[in-house]
Each structure stands twice: as C-alpha cells, then as structure tokens.
Structure 1
Amino acid sequence: MSISADDMDFTIFCIFDHPPARVYEAVADPTKLSQHFTTAGAKGRLTTGTTATWEFADFPGPFDVQVAEAVEAERIVIDWGHPSGEGTNRVTFTFAEIEPGRTRVEVSETGWTATPEGLKFAYGNVMGWSYMLATMRIWLDHGISSRPGMFK
C-alpha cells in the first residue's frame, strides 16, 4: 500500500466555551494570537488578501502567512511555507457555534508531500495545531499563556 499526499491531510478540533466571534479574534488579531501561540509575536491581522508574519520563541522564524480567505467568526484560510522549505501548505480554521456560547474550532492542513520526511512534518504539525488549540483555550478561559517553554 502506498501513501498519497491526500492521505496525510488532517483535521483536529477543540470546543470552546465562548462565542465564535471571540474565538475567531483569538486567531485573527495579532495581539491576541501573540498571547497564546506566536510567543515571539505576530504582525498583521488575518484578513483576506494580506500577508501576516508569525514568530515563535521556540522555533526559527519568522513565517509569512498569506491569508487566502477570512470570514468574520466563521473561517480563516491561510497558506504558509511547507516545513521542508519546498512549496506551501493550506491551513483552514473553521469556527462553528454548536450551541449558544460554545464554538467548535477545527484546524485542517493540506499540502504534504508523500515521503517519510513529509509524514514526519505532518505529524509535527498535528501536534503543533493541537497545542495551539489547547493553549488558546487556556488563554481564553483563564488569561494564562501556557506555551512559553513548552518546546524548549
């Protein structure tokens, strides 16, 4: 059995006890994103057609993030460089209210190369996006930035 790039696409999720607009802003607003995820800073609001920059204290950067689509409180679609340095990956954030004041956030990433190295990078990003949602939830619920020191 061979593995194709489509086999390596993934989606992870987390449920937040906040309305979609508040959770959306925790990703779209660079000041808020820097509080829980981009611990070395984010520059540029995630709006359709813009390029933002994300930096992480525990990974080399900065990373350019091209915003393909941003729909307030519903969806953000970004393209960013593949970790190998070749090509780009597409990341889609969806924000769905599952009941009043509760939001399911899904993060999907596509664009992996069907190689052992590509699989390693995909697994690494599954972990990274899972941590992003977990640290975002802690920050939204309690105002605590739990990412510093997590990977270093």
Structure 2
Amino acid sequence: MDLKFRVAARIAKPVHEVFEAVADPAQLSHYFTTGGAKGRLETGATVSWDFHDFPGAFDVDVVEVVPNEKIVLLWAAGDGEPPNLEGVEYKLADYKTRVTMTFKALDDGRTMVEIAEEGWRETEAALKASYGNCQGWTQMQCALKAWLEHGINLREGMFK
C-alpha cells in the first residue's frame, strides 16, 4: 500500500496572490499557522511553523520553489492520531514526508491549488497520521480561500 493523498481547491484570486499567501510567512500566519510562521518559502530554506493544535514549532525544509507554480516541502512524518484529539499522544517519526503544492492559473481568473503528500511508511500509525494530514491540508485550503476571498480567519480560536 502506497500511503499518499491529493487535495485540491479553486481560489477566486490570481495565481500570484494565492502563491504569495502561502510563501509569505506573515500571510501564512494569518490564516494557517496559528502559532506563527518564520521564514519565507524559498528553495533551500528551512522555515519554522507553529500550530496551537500541535506540540511546539517544527522545521520545514523547502526543497523547491517555482514562483507562482510549485512549492515542494519535506517535514517530519507523524505517527498516530492527529494531535488535536483529546488525550491522544502524538509524536514525530524519524523520517520525512514530501508535500507538493501546485498553483495553476485558470481561464476564469481563479487559481487551482493542489496539495499532495506522500512518503509515509506502511504502518497503522503512519496510516492514521496520513489521514490527519489530509484533514489538515484540506482545512488549510478552506482557510486560504476564506482568508483571500473574504478576509476571514477560519482557524481563529479553533484550537485554544
């Protein structure tokens, strides 16, 4: 079994604006990284993301960035249930998964954002972690859409 997933959403903003909302840590901190983001997503960089629903900030390695087209990240894989479940112990694994975000300008002026993640080991704990990340990336796309199109932070107060 190859543990991987892909989620997609259409954002009613031009591709450059959508791309910048992900690459720029100040913007990302407004709607996704509830504890803040440090460092711009640029090829070769290591940035820090912090979430109120996750125990502490962690590093994200930026493998490749093609402006307005693609961002490829590596980050520590999780093992087990998502960390925001009450009483569930969550830990990072000793290997990384690959996240690929693609941005495509659509003919109607919107942007298609696809996020794919792969690379989990074939264990029950990794399967549960992959489900949690699929939920998280779907939520990120919803938050991105609400933020860019309506100025609403969907994650405000959600985890603390």
* TM-score, normalization by structure 1: 0.93
Task: Give, in whole Å, the separation in 2 of the partners of 1:105 and 1:140.
Answer: 13
Given the alignment of the two structures, is residue 18 of structure 1 paired with residue 13 of structure 2, yes or no?
yes
Q: Displacement, 1:62?
A: 0.7
Q: Displacement, 1:53?
A: 0.2
Given the alignment of the two structures, is residue 59 of structure 1 paired with residue 67 of structure 2, yes or no?
no
Secondary structure of the 1:83 match is: strand
- Unaligned 5+ segments in structure 2 are 80-92
Aligned to 1:99: 107
> Which runs of structure 1 show a deviation greater than 4 angstroms over 4 or more consecutive aligned residues?
none
What does 1:1-152 correspond to in 2, within 5 Å? 4=1, 6=2, 8-84=3-79, 85-152=93-160
Task: Give, in whole Å, the separation in 2 of the partners of 1:61 and 1:22.
Answer: 29
Alignment identity in percent?
A: 49
Aligned residues: CA RMSD: 1.1
Q: Displacement, 1:136?
A: 0.7
Q: Displacement, 1:100?
A: 4.0
Do 1:36 and 1:139's aligned partners in 2 also have CA atoms closer than 8 Å? yes
Give the AA of the match of 2:150: H
* TM-score, normalization by structure 2: 0.88
Q: Looking at secondary structure, tell me which structure has more helix per residue.
A: 1
Task: Give, in whole Å, the separation in 2 of the partners of 1:90 and 1:61.
Answer: 20
Secondary structure of the 2:146 match is: helix
Count the aligned residue pairs: 147
